[in-house]
C-alpha cells in the first residue's frame, strides 16, 4: 500500500508496494492480478509470497457460487489512492504558495502537519516539537487587542511583546519579543502568570530603551523597548525573517515617545538565525540598517546583542527564531553539534562548545562562524561605531545569550526547582572528557556522573548532589572542574574574537542568576549550569577574571533579587537570591569589572521602581559602587497607559539623578 502524505520516506525501506488492478481475461471475465513492486532495498519478494497474496485476493473477490465480482475493499483501496494523490497535489500547491507569497519557513519535505503548525502559530497558538498545541501567553492572558508586547530584546522587532518577566535563573530560551517568523508570528509557550523563578531573563527583546545610570547623567541604562506587538488590534513585528522592517511608522511613534522622556537609547538583538539564515557567510542586514538609521535620527544610543541562540520552546517564550537553516541541515546529519544530555536528547538552542574548534560547519569551526558574523556586523555598521551611536555590544555565549549550559530545558521536562542535568554527552565533549581523564591518569573517569538524578530532581534525592555526595569526591571534583573550565574556555575564546571584531568598543557578557538550592552544600542547580560554586569554593572569581582579561562588562539580571527572600517558593527551594547577588557582584567589583543589569519582573508601580533604584544605585555603599547602566524590561501597552507611563517617566528621571516630586509637592 502506498505511503500516505506526511509519512517519513526513510521509515519504509522494507515496504513492498502492491498495485492491485482489474484485468479482463480471454473469456471477458474480470480477474484480479497483484503486481509486487521492489522494496526500497531492491529485493523482490519470494514467489511463494506473491502466490499467497494472489490467493488471498482471489478469495476476497470470489462469490459463494465461485464467480468473480468487483470487490468493495479493492474499490476502497483505489479510491484511497486517488484521494491521497489529490491530497498530495493540494499540499504541494499550498506549500508552494506559502513559500512564495507567505514567506513561511517550510522544509523541503513539509507535510500538512507543518502547514497546520505554521498557521496555528500565526494565529497566536503555541506548537511544540512533539505536536502539543495550546494558546500562547498573549492569547491566554490578555483580551483581544491587548496582546503581549513584552519588552524583551528580540532581534527583529523593537517595541516589544510581553514575554514573561525575565528570570534570574535564566532558563528561558530568549526574550520573547514578537518576531514575525516568515510572515507568521511564531508564538511560544503559554504560561500562567509566572512565579519569580519562571521569569526568564535570558533572551533579549528586539529593542530596548536605555534609562540612565546610577549617579551622574551619563549614557547608560538600556530600557528595553522590546517589540511592539499591537497596533490597531493587529500584531506586527519590527524585523521579519527576511530581515525587513515591517512597520516603520508605528515603530517611529514608539521611539519618539521614549525619546520624549529622555530615555538614553534602545537595545536590539541581531539574530544569527535571521541574518545568516540560508547560506554560510551570506548576511542580510537590511532591516537592521533601516532600524539603526531611525534610532540614529532620533539621537538615541544603541546597544546590540549578537544572538547566536534560538528563541522558542522554554518558559515565557512567545516566539520562535531558529538557528540558521543551513546549521539545522548540518545538525540533521550530525546531531552532535548540539548539547546532549545523558539520555541522548539534543538541545538545539545553541551549538555545543565541543565544536568551538572542530571544522564541522561546512569547513569552519563554531568560533570562526561567530567571528565572521561579528566582523560582518562591524563592517556593515561601521559609521554607527565611528559616530558613537553603538555604545555596547553584548555577545551571546550560550542558551538565551547567557554564559551557561542549557541545563534546565522545559522542553525536556525540567520544572522548577529541579537541579537540571549535565549537558556533556555529544561526541565532541566526550572526546574532551576522555582526553582530560587520560591526562589525569584515570581513563575510567571519562564519563558523566551516573547518580546525578534527572532534570526535576532535588539535591537530596541524588547520590551526587546530596550532602557529602560524590560531587565533593575525587572523581566529582575532577569532573566538575573539567565541566566548568569548558564554560570559561568558551567565553574566553569568543570574547577574545569579539574584542578583535569590535576593537575600541565596549563588549559585554550575560550571566544568569541561578539562586535555587544556593543554601545547600552542593549548589546543584549552579553545578549543572556550569558554575563550579559549591559552599567550599567560589565559582565566580574565575569567570570575573576572564571578563576582566577582555575588558568585558558583566550583565547580571539581579535588580530585585535581594528582595525575594520572603517568597515561599524560594524558601522551599532553599534559594538565596541575596547571597548570590552579593557573591557575584563582589567577584565583579574585585576584578574591577563594569556591571550592568536589568529588571527580572515587569514593573509598573512606584514600590517596584524604588526597589530597582535601591539595588542599582545603593545609597550606603562605602565604596560608592553602582551599576553603570540598567535595562528596563519591558515596554508594553500596559506601560503606555497614562498613569503607568507617568510612574515610568519619574523612574527614568530618578535613574538620571534628577529630583522628582509627588503631585502634592513632596519629594519622591
Q: What is the pLDDT of residue 300?
A: 94
Instruction: State pLDDT tens for residues 121-158.
Output: 666 666 666 676 766 443 433 333 332 233 333 333 33
**Mean pLDDT for the stretch of residues 67-80:** 70
Phi and psi torsions of 161, nearest 5°: -90, 170
Cβ atoms < 10 Å from Cβ of 21 = 10
Label residue 580 by pLDDT band (50, 70, 90).
very high
Q: What is the pLDDT of residue 546?
A: 98
Alpha-carbon span 164 to 453, nearest angstrom? 29
Q: Which of 267, 425, 449, 270 is nearest to 345 (CA)?
A: 425
Instruction: State pLDDT tens for residues 339-389.
Output: 999 999 999 999 999 999 999 999 999 999 999 999 999 999 999 999 999
**Mean pLDDT for the stretch of residues 201-209:** 39
Task: Calculate the CA dihedral of residues 587, 655, 402, 547 and round it to 10 degrees.
Answer: -40
**Mean pLDDT for the stretch of residues 71-87:** 81
Q: Which of 400, 407, 397 is nearest to 492 (CA)?
A: 397
Phi and psi torsions of 60, nearest 5°: -65, -30
Q: What is the pLDDT of residue 540?
A: 97
Confidence check: pLDDT of 473 > 50: yes
**Cβ(595)–Cβ(621) below 8 Å:** no
**Cβ(177)–Cβ(150) below 8 Å:** yes
pTM (global) more than 0.75: no
Instruction: State pLDDT tens for residues 47-70.
Output: 444 444 444 544 444 444 444 445
Instruction: State pLDDT tens for residues 589-639.
Output: 999 999 998 887 778 888 888 888 888 888 877 888 888 889 887 767 788
Each as own residue / partner, the long-range contacts of residues 375-378 (CB below 8 Å, 24 or more positions apart, any chain) are 375/501, 376/275, 376/281, 376/283, 376/285, 377/270, 377/285, 377/304, 377/306, 377/501, 378/501, 378/502
Report which secondary-structure segment, H or E, holds 249.
helix 248-260
Q: Which of 430, 523, 525 is nearest to 479 (CA)?
A: 430
Alpha-carbon span 602 to 581, nearest angstrom? 19
Match 530600557 to its residue by C-alpha cell.
223
Alpha-carbon span 638 to 229, nearest angstrom? 12
Match 502506498 to its residue by C-alpha cell.
2
Q: Which residues pair with 555 in a beta bridge?
A: 510, 596
Alpha-carbon span 168 to 19, nearest angstrom? 61
**Mean pLDDT for the stretch of residues 440-465:** 96
Q: What is the pLDDT of residue 347?
A: 95
Q: What is the pLDDT of residue 437?
A: 97
Label residue 567 by pLDDT band (50, 70, 90).
low
Q: What is the pLDDT of residue 595?
A: 94
Cell output for 218: 551619563
Q: What is the pLDDT of residue 372?
A: 98
Q: What is the pLDDT of residue 45?
A: 46
Match 513584552 to its residue by C-alpha cell.
150
**Mean pLDDT for the stretch of residues 460-486:** 97
Q: What is the pLDDT of residue 95?
A: 76
Strands (DSSP E) contained in 47-138 are: 125-127, 133-135
**Mean pLDDT for the stretch of residues 526-536:** 97
CA distances from residue 17 to 40, 48, 461, 480 in whole angstroms, order as listed:
9, 17, 52, 54
Domain ranges of the chain: 91-123, 239-656
Q: Which residues are catalytic?
A: 402, 598
Q: What is the pLDDT of residue 213?
A: 47
Label residue 34 by pLDDT band (50, 70, 90).
very low
Cβ atoms < 10 Å from Cβ of 29 = 10
Confidence check: pLDDT of 80 > 50: yes
Longest dimension (CA), the chain: 109
Instruction: State pLDDT tens for residues 167-183.
Output: 322 333 332 332 222 22
Strands 230-231 and 184-185: unpaired
Q: What is the pLDDT of residue 227?
A: 28
Q: What is the pLDDT of residue 402?
A: 95
Alpha-carbon span 272 to 304, nearest angstrom? 13
Alpha-carbon span 150 to 256, nearest angstrom? 18
Q: Taking all residues of the chain, what is their mean pLDDT, rounded to a whole number?
A: 75
**Mean pLDDT for the stretch of residues 570-583:** 89
Confidence check: pLDDT of 199 > 50: no
Q: Which of 189, 177, 182, 186 is nearest to 122 (CA)?
A: 186
Alpha-carbon span 528 to 458, nearest angstrom? 12
**Cβ(94)–Cβ(115) below 8 Å:** yes
- The CATH number of 239-656, from 3.30.160.100, 3.20.20.80, 3.40.50.170, 3.30.230.30, is 3.20.20.80
Please report the sign of the dihedral spanned by the C-alpha atoms of residue 431, residue 436, residue 439, residue 440.
negative
Q: Which of 647, 648, 638 is nearest to 138 (CA)?
A: 638
509 contacts: CB under 8 Å, gap ≥ 6: 394, 395, 397, 403, 491, 495, 547, 552, 553, 554, 555
Helices 541-549 and 577-590 sit at what angle, rounded to 10 degrees? Answer: 40
Q: What is the pLDDT of residue 99?
A: 67
Q: What is the pLDDT of residue 616?
A: 84
Cβ atoms < 10 Å from Cβ of 183 = 18
Label residue 29 by pLDDT band (50, 70, 90).
very low
Label residue 100 by pLDDT band (50, 70, 90).
low
Confidence check: pLDDT of 41 > 70: no
Confidence check: pLDDT of 578 > 80: yes
Strands 125-127 and 133-135: antiparallel
Confidence check: pLDDT of 561 > 80: no
Peptide linkage before 417 cis (omega within 30 of 0): yes
Alpha-carbon span 191 to 189, nearest angstrom? 6
Label residue 97 by pLDDT band (50, 70, 90).
confident
Q: Is the model more confident about 621 or about 539?
A: 539
Q: What is the pLDDT of residue 568?
A: 64
**Mean pLDDT for the stretch of residues 509-536:** 96
Q: What is the pLDDT of residue 73?
A: 79
Least confident of 155-164, 434-443, 557-566, 655-664: 155-164
Please report the sign of the dihedral spanned by the C-alpha atoms of residue 268, residue 269, residue 275, residue 281.
positive
Match 557567510 to its residue by C-alpha cell.
281
Report which secondary-structure segment, H or E, holds 592.
none
589 contacts: CB under 8 Å, gap ≥ 6: 595, 623, 625
**Cβ(275)–Cβ(243) below 8 Å:** yes
Amino acid at each position: 500500500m502506498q505511503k500516505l502524505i506526511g509519512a517519513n520516506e526513510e521509515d519504509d525501506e522494507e515496504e513492498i508496494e502492491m498495485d492491485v488492478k482489474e484485468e479482463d481475461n480471454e473469456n471477458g471475465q474480470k480477474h484480479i492480478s497483484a503486481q509486487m513492486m521492489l522494496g526500497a532495498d531492491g529485493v523482490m519478494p519470494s514467489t511463494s509470497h506473491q502466490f499467497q497474496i494472489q490467493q488471498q485476493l482471489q478469495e476476497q473477490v470470489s462469490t459463494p457460487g465461485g464467480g468473480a465480482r468487483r470487490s468493495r475493499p479493492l474499490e476502497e483501496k483505489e479510491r484511497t489512492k486517488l484521494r491521497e494523490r489529490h491530497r498530495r497535489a493540494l499540499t504541494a500547491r499550498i506549500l508552494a504558495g506559502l513559500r512564495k507569497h507567505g514567506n513561511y519557513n517550510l522544509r523541503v519535505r513539509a507535510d500538512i502537519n507543518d502547514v497546520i503548525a505554521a498557521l496555528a502559530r500565526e494565529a497566536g497558538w503555541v506548537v511544540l516539537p512533539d505536536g502539543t498545541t495550546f494558546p500562547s501567553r498573549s492569547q491566554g492572558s490578555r483580551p483581544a487587542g491587548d496582546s503581549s508586547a513584552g519588552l524583551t530584546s528580540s532581534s527583529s522587532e523593537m517595541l516589544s511583546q510581553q514575554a514573561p518577566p525575565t528570570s534570574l535563573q535564566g532558563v528561558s530560551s530568549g526574550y520573547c519579543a514578537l518576531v514575525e517568523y516568515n510572515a507568521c508570528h511564531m508564538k511560544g509557550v503559554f504560561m500562567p502568570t509566572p512565579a519569580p523563578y519562571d521569569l526568564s531573563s535570558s533572551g533579549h527583546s528586539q529593542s530596548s530603551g536605555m534609562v540612565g545610570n546610577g549617579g551622574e547623567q551619563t549614557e547608560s541604562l538600556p530600557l528595553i523597548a522590546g517589540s511592539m506587538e499591537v497596533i490597531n488590534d493587529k500584531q506586527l513585528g519590527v524585523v521579519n525573517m527576511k530581515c525587513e522592517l515591517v512597520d516603520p511608522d508605528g515603530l517611529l511613534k514608539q521611539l519618539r515617545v521614549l525619546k520624549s522622556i529622555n530615555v538614553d537609547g534602545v537595545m536590539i538583538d541581531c539574530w544569527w538565525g535571521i541574518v545568516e539564515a540560508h547560506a554560510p557567510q551570506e548576511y542580510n542586514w537590511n532591516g537592521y540598517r533601516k532600524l539603526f538609521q531611525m534610532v540614529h535620527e532620533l539621537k538615541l544610543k544603541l546597544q546590540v546583542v549578537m544572538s547566536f541562540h534560538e528563541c522558542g520552546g522554554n518558559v515565557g517564550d512567545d516566539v520562535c527564531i531558529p538557528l540558521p537553516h543551513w546549521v539545522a541541515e548540518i545538525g540533521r546529519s550530525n546531531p552532535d553539534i548540539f548539547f546532549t544530555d545523558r539520555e541522548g536528547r539534543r538541545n538545539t538552542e545553541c551549538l555545543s562548545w565541543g565544536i568551538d574548534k572542530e571544522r564541522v560547519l561546512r569547513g569552519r569551526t563554531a568560533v570562526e562562524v561567530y567571528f565572521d558574523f561579528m566582523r560582518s556586523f562591524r563592517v556593515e555598521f561601521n559609521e554607527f561605531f565611528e559616530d558613537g551611536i553603538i555604545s555596547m555590544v553584548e555577545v551571546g555565549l550560550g542558551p538565551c545569550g547567557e554564559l551557561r549550559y542549557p541545563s534546565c530545558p522545559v522542553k525536556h521536562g525540567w520544572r522548577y526547582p529541579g537541579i537540571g542535568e549535565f549537558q556533556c554527552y555529544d561526541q565532541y565533549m566526550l572526546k574532551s572528557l576522555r582526553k582530560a581523564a587520560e591526562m589525569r591518569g584515570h581513563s575510567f573517569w571519562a564519563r558523566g556522573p551516573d547518580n546525578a538524578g534527572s532534570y526535576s530532581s532535588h539535591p537530596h534525592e541524588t547520590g551526587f548532589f546530596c550532602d557529602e555526595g560524590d560531587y565533593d569526591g575525587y572523581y566529582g571534583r575532577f569532573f566538575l572542574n573539567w565541566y566548568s573550565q569548558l564554560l570559561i574556555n568558551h567565553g574566553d575564546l569568543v570574547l577574545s574574537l569579539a574584542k578583535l571584531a569590535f576593537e575600541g568598543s565596549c563588549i559585554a557578557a550575560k550571566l544568569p542568576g541561578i539562586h535555587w538550592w544556593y543554601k545547600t552544600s552542593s549548589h546543584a542547580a549552579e553545578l549543572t549550569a556550569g558554575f563550579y560554586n559549591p559552599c567550599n569554593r567560589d565559582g565566580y572569581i574565575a569567570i570575573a577574571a576572564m571578563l576582566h582579561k577582555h575588558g568585558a562588562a558583566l550583565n547580571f539580571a539581579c535588580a530585585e533579587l535581594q528582595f525575594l527572600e520572603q517568597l515561599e517558593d524560594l524558601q522551599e527551594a532553599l534559594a538565596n537570591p541575596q547571597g548570590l547577588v552579593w557573591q557575584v557582584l563582589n567577584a565583579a567589583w574585585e576584578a574591577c569589572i563594569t556591571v550592568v543589569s536589568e529588571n527580572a519582573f515587569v514593573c509598573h508601580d512606584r514600590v517596584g521602581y524604588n526597589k530597582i533604584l535601591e539595588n542599582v544605585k545603593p545609597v550606603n555603599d562605602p565604596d560608592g559602587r553602582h551599576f553603570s547602566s540598567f535595562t528596563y524590561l519591558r515596554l508594553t501597552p500596559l506601560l503606555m497607559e497614562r498613569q503607568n507611563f507617568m510612574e515610568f517617566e519619574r523612574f527614568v528621571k530618578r535613574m538620571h539623578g534628577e529630583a522628582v516630586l509627588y503631585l502634592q509637592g513632596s519629594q519622591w
